[in-house]
Amino acid sequence: MRTTMTIAAALLVPVAIQGQSWKTVTMSRQLQDNDEVRVSVDYGSGDFSVRSVDEGVLYRMNLRYDEDRFEPVADYSGRRLRLGVDAIGRNITVGRSRSGAMELELARGVPLDLDLNFGAVRADIDLGGLSLTGLSLSTGASESTIDVSEPNPLEMETAHVEAGATQFSMMGLGNLNADRIEIDAGVGEITLGLDGRWRRDSRLVIDVGVGSLELRVPEGLGIQLRKNSFLTALDSEGLVKRGDVYESPDFQDADRRVIIDLDAAFGRVSVVWTRAEHGKP
C-alpha cells in the first residue's frame, strides 16, 4: 500500500521528487486462463510484500526503485512469469541508502508454482488465498514474516524454505497443504507456526544451524519430534519422550499428525502450545 501511495504521489506531485533518481512503477497482467503458471520473483533489498488478489489479474506489482541502478523485470512467456528487479551493470553502493519497495499481488485460484528469492529485505508475505502447486522460498539476511492465512486448495508435494542469517517467522504451515515442508535455516531467530488446516498427515523437516527455534503448535495437533542435534537445548514442555522421539500425549489418537525431523547444530529449540488460529489443526 505504501508503494501504491508513493506512485500516486509521484504522479500527482512530480516536482516533489525532483533531483532524485527514484522511480515508481505499477505493472499488471490480466488473467487469461486458469492454467498453471510458474512464478519466479527476485528482489534484492528493501521492503517486500506478497498478497493474493481477486480482481481478474494474474499479478499486480508496485515497485519503487533507483532507476540509475536497477530496472524492473516483468517477463511472461510460456506459462512462466518472472518478476522483480535486475541490477544495471555492476554498481556497488557503499553506505546506507534509501531502500526500495516491492508490493506484489498474485491471482487467487490460478495454480502457481512459486519461487521467491529475496536478499536483505524486510519481507511481509501472506500466501493465504493462493493456489500453490509448489513453493520454494529463499531469503538472505532478512527480517521475514510469512503467513499462510488461508488454506491452499491445491495439494503440494514439497514446500522448501531456505533462510540465511535472519529473523524468520512462518505461520500457518498447515494451510500450505503440503506433504512435506523443508525448512533450512542458517543463523538467527526462527519461529514456525504449525497452525492452519492440515488436510493429512505431513512431515516437517527442519535443519537449523546456529540460533533459536520456536515451534508454535496448536492444541489438538499430534506431533512427533525426532531430534538430531549437537549442543542444542530442547524445551519440550508438553511432549512425552518415547524412546528416541518426543511426542504430544495424544499423538496416536490425533486427527492430524505431523512428524518433525529436527537437525540442529547449536542453539535452543522450544515448543510452545497455542490455540489454533487458522482453522482447525
The reply on whether position 28 binds another protein by CB under 8 A is yes
- Quickly list H helices, the chain: 2-12
Count the neighbouring beta carbons within 10 Å of the beta carbon of residue 197.
19
94: cell is 557503499
Say if residue 50 is exposed, middle or buried (CB neighbours under 10 Å; 0-12, 13-18, 19+).
buried
The reply on whether position 17 binds another protein by CB under 8 A is yes
The reply on whether position 228 binds another protein by CB under 8 A is no
The reply on whether position 99 binds another protein by CB under 8 A is no
The reply on whether position 20 binds another protein by CB under 8 A is yes
Say if residue 89 is exposed, middle or buried (CB neighbours under 10 Å; 0-12, 13-18, 19+).
exposed
The reply on whether position 94 binds another protein by CB under 8 A is no
Q: Give the DSSP H or E segment for 123.
A: strand 111-126
The one segment of 31-39, 42-50, 91-99, 235-243 that binds another protein by CB under 8 A: 31-39
CB of 25 to another protein, least distance (A): 4
Contacts of residues 237-240 at CB distance under 8 Å and 24 or more positions apart, as own/partner, are 237/270, 237/271, 237/272, 237/273, 238/271, 238/273, 239/271
Residue placing its CB nearer to another protein in the complex, 81 or 194: 81
The reply on whether position 212 binds another protein by CB under 8 A is yes
Of residues 236 through 265, those in contact with another protein by CB under 8 A are: none
Size of site (CB under 8 A) for another protein: 50
The reply on whether position 97 binds another protein by CB under 8 A is no
Among 100, 193, 267, 281, binds another protein (CB under 8 A): 267
Residue placing its CB nearer to another protein in the complex, 17 or 234: 17
